[in-house]
Structure 1
Amino acid sequence: MSKRSRTKLRKRNVGLKKKPILDWQERRRQISDALSKKDVSELRILATTGPGLVDDGLRRLCWPLLLHFDHYKDKNKPQEVHNDEHQVLLDVERSCVYFPQGLNHVQKKKKQSELNDVIVGILRRHPKLSYYQGFHDICLCLLILLGKNDAIKAGENIAMFLLRYPFTSIRLFYPILRQLNLLNTLICLEDSEIANFLEESNTLPYFCLSWVITWCSHDIHDYSKVIRLFDFFIASDPLITIYLAARVIISRRKELLTLESDSATVHTFLSKFPQHINIDGLISETIQLYHKHPPHKLQKESNEELDEKSCVNLYEKHWLELKADYSVVDKILSNPPSVKKPVNNSKKSNSNKKQPIIFAVAVTVIAIIITSNWLWRSTLTDTLKFING
């Protein structure tokens, strides 16, 4: 190769290396502009597209706006001990497995103590919330990124407004399972072959339960991927985790359809979140699916209509417009089951063909699992074998 050709090739390679740097610089400028204007709508777009909010330094500035910290007021109420604090401590003692990395024993114990303070701080301020196993995984990510005080504020708003269903109580855990059943409808609408395979193998959608209630923080071992997903979840509709789960399943169709049509085999395969998946690509595909089948239409297509006062159905008018109003949510949490009503949808479909008895047994078994303190360590495959007969 001549000297002139080598020079041209070198310039071309240098140009290729510079382009990503310029893209990152442009993204940081966009985020900084949105922050200076306190433009939450623009931040929400940036958090759900491309590389998201780029790095932890910018996230520390953006997340408070996205989670309405400005509307947080500590009323300094007497902080009585919450009934679930013992369970919190048990979970905290098992935390910090994959991240943060590089902690020695003393540092790990200190981080766990801070994590306990974060969760207990949230529960004592809102005694109507019932702690569930897996929330400690979310709070650990908040603690790593924001520090203890802001993690309490962030976790409080996530619990009250974006992830309210799992906190209602064990006996009312069925609403989150209703969300999972919407997954069947989504898959049926997008890929009938996969839907038929799951139905023939009698595979219920509970393999992705932890993805939904921990925002994937229990299932993904790479902190950078988890925190990128948190950008997405914080800035999106509470039901977005169901859409993401659908995209993950569809992305694995080639491997899935080669499996034996057996519920235990299929459940085991699907319950393992693919660690090397392209997160930015997954988010982009999830957004497309969300716009194609928005929550109100998805509920019309399914036999699973969510409570009219669910965080899903109140997201736009309550969270986006009215901001964080704790008194309203406390009132909702106080409602007995008889007061809760589904949205009034007239259109029904046969997308979800599972029998009510299967759903009832599934709810009972899952509740027992959670109550027995072995949700993440049990072989749910054996449980599903029992459900499926």
Structure 2
Amino acid sequence: MEGLDEPVLLEKTTSPAASHADKERAILEACRWRNLDALRALAESPGGFITDKTRQQAWPVLLGLPSGDGETPTIPLGQATEAGPWKELPRHRDEDQVQLDVNRAFIYYPENQNDAELARQKDELSALIVEVLRRNPYLCYFQGYHDICQVFLLVLPPPIRAPAVARLSALRIRDFMLPSLGPAVRQLRLIPDILRASDPRLWHHLSGTEPFFALAGTLTMYAHDITTLGEISRLFDVLLAREPVFSVYMFAAIVRSRREELFDTPHDEPEMLHSILCKLPRPLDLEALISAARALFDAHPPERLPAWRTISRASVLRTARHPGVCATQSMADGRGFFEKQVTELRWLKRRDKACELLWQHRRPVRTVGIAVLVGVAAAVFRRYPGVLAYIYGIVSRWVR
């Protein structure tokens, strides 16, 4: 992009001798030019975006919002589906559950809060979530969504929190906000494929363990399991800069990092293996895991994984397959993809019910099916007698 010497920028920021000040300047320069490739490289480099000050500039750009400095955005932003004061909008169906989860928020961070400060932050968190849901009523709340929103509330300034979370919801974690967890579970099926391709011995050891152990981590962008604001903010840097499927590779890297511990547990004890895998390792070496996830992604891209064929074309994994795509999509795009996925889910539900019904009545169905085939054959032979003679000739030669 004109005015930005990208090779020098990346050389500066990835050099071991680069200071935090140099890197902060590079981040702000990339935000100024909305250089998503440079931001991705900076997010993946050690330390990510370093401070909340730079995150307040970078995260909105990665999500397709203005960078927070008042400049006019150069790409389509998209808008929430409802305008006007959100408190005057109809109540969302999931607000009771929102309040239950908000009551359990802010357990680990921020630290040293008094009761009044904690109550204020819970009110702000509830308002943030409810505003996003009321403005986008088609979205379905899921338990753990408040963990994600809590991070955005603590990092971003108030004016851009709701727009940022709305775009995140519709364009990056949309699969989790559908009326069914089916699409989220299908994402997890990619993890065994990554392990089989990269570490066959470990894959075989875990072959009796379903990948549901990764649900809480991937569903909440790891915000449910990481207990320090610095670590989860740093991980959000790379998750927002990369394509949504990168989160799955991140969990595969976490699994591989625990090889020795997992091999110490017998393969025929899936419950014990599940118990180990559903908790993140301590301490958590985020820089090493991010590097390992990037290497896994490069060596085994999703298109090579068998489970990729089961991922809906309207899934965020496909509609935002490449980094930076989310920043160019609109909220209307997100809603359109959402509706396509809902239609697919309804069709799959009807198909499964039909298959179940056929299985329950398989003997009568078999009899009816044979009768129908005989009737159709008789009608064909009556209309085309030559077909019967032709078949008879083939059978006769085969019998001889």
TM-score for both structures, normalised by structure 2: 0.75
Aligned to 2:6: none
Aligned to 1:387: none
User: 1:302 & 1:339 partners in 2: Cα distance?
Assistant: 17
Residues 1:267 and 2:274 are matched in the alignment: yes
**2:222 counterpart (216, 219, 225):** 216
Aligned to 2:4: none
Correspondence 1:319-338 to 2 at 5 A: 320=325, 323-335=328-340, 337-338=342-343
User: 2:250 & 2:92 partners in 1: Cα distance?
Assistant: 33
Aligned to 1:182: 190
Identity %: 28
Aligned to 1:63: 59
User: 2:62 & 2:285 partners in 1: Cα distance?
Assistant: 24
Q: What is the DSSP-based 3-state SS (H/G/I as helix, E as strand, rest coil) of the residue aligned with 1:335?
A: helix
User: 1:325 & 1:22 partners in 2: Cα distance?
Assistant: 36
Residues 1:137 and 2:147 are matched in the alignment: yes
Correspondence 1:355-374 to 2 at 5 A: none
Aligned to 1:280: 287
User: 1:54 & 1:322 partners in 2: Cα distance?
Assistant: 22
Residues 1:228 and 2:224 are matched in the alignment: no
Aligned to 2:311: 306
- Shift of residue 209, structure 1, vs aligned partner: 0.6
- Shift of residue 302, structure 1, vs aligned partner: 3.1
User: 2:343 & 2:170 partners in 1: Cα distance?
Assistant: 21
Whether the aligned pair in 1 keeps the contact of 2:49 and 2:237 (CA below 8 Å) is yes
2:167 is matched by which residue type in structure 1? N
Q: What is the DSSP-based 3-state SS (H/G/I as helix, E as strand, rest coil) of the residue aligned with 1:302?
A: helix
- Shift of residue 260, structure 1, vs aligned partner: 2.8
User: 1:102 & 1:20 partners in 2: Cα distance?
Assistant: 34
Aligned to 1:291: 298
User: 2:346 & 2:308 partners in 1: Cα distance?
Assistant: 14
Structure 1, residues 95-130: CA drift from partner, whole Å, max 9, x if none?
A: 000011111111101100000011001100111100
Q: What is the DSSP-based 3-state SS (H/G/I as helix, E as strand, rest coil) of the residue aligned with 2:318?
A: coil
**2:246 counterpart (236, 240, 243):** 240
Whether the aligned pair in 2 keeps the contact of 1:181 and 1:304 (CA below 8 Å) is no
Structure 1, residues 61-95: CA drift from partner, whole Å, max 9, x if none?
A: 11111111131435515621100000000000000
CA distance 1:289–1:249, change in 2 (3 Å): same
Q: Which shows bigger deviation, 152-161 or 332-341?
A: 332-341
Aligned to 1:103: 113
Task: Give the structure with higher Rg (CA).
Answer: 2
Structure 1, residues 42-75: CA drift from partner, whole Å, max 9, x if none?
A: 1122112222111111111111111111314355
User: 1:180 & 1:123 partners in 2: Cα distance?
Assistant: 26
Whether the aligned pair in 2 keeps the contact of 1:118 and 1:149 (CA below 8 Å) is no
**1:73 counterpart (69, 79, 84):** 79
1:51 is matched by which residue type in structure 2? G
User: 1:322 & 1:110 partners in 2: Cα distance?
Assistant: 32
1:275 is matched by which residue type in structure 2? R
CA distance 1:246–1:333, change in 2 (3 Å): same
Aligned to 1:367: none
Residues 1:52 and 2:57 are matched in the alignment: no
2:214 is matched by which residue type in structure 1? C
Whether the aligned pair in 2 keeps the contact of 1:182 and 1:304 (CA below 8 Å) is no
Residues 1:167 and 2:177 are matched in the alignment: yes
User: 1:311 & 1:336 partners in 2: Cα distance?
Assistant: 10
Aligned to 2:27: 31
User: 1:317 & 1:341 partners in 2: Cα distance?
Assistant: 28
Q: Which shows bigger deviation, 131-140 or 231-240?
A: 231-240
Q: What is the DSSP-based 3-state SS (H/G/I as helix, E as strand, rest coil) of the residue aligned with 1:108?
A: helix
Instruction: State the superposition RMSD in angstroms.
Output: 2.4
Whether the aligned pair in 2 keeps the contact of 1:161 and 1:319 (CA below 8 Å) is no
1:93 is matched by which residue type in structure 2? N
Q: What is the DSSP-based 3-state SS (H/G/I as helix, E as strand, rest coil) of the residue aligned with 1:313?
A: helix
User: 2:308 & 2:92 partners in 1: Cα distance?
Assistant: 36
Structure 1, residues 145-189: CA drift from partner, whole Å, max 9, x if none?
A: 0133322111111110110111011xx211110110111100111
- Shift of residue 210, structure 1, vs aligned partner: 0.8
User: 2:165 & 2:326 partners in 1: Cα distance?
Assistant: 20
Whether the aligned pair in 1 keeps the contact of 2:226 and 2:232 (CA below 8 Å) is yes
Name structure 2 gaps, 5 residues minimum. 1-14, 67-76, 357-400
Aligned to 1:370: none
TM-score for both structures, normalised by structure 1: 0.77
Aligned to 2:7: none
Residues 1:87 and 2:87 are matched in the alignment: no
**1:315 counterpart (280, 304, 320):** 320
CA distance 1:224–1:321, change in 2 (3 Å): closer
Runs of 4+ in 1 over 6 A off after TM superposition: none
Name structure 1 gaps, 5 residues minimum. 1-18, 343-355, 361-389
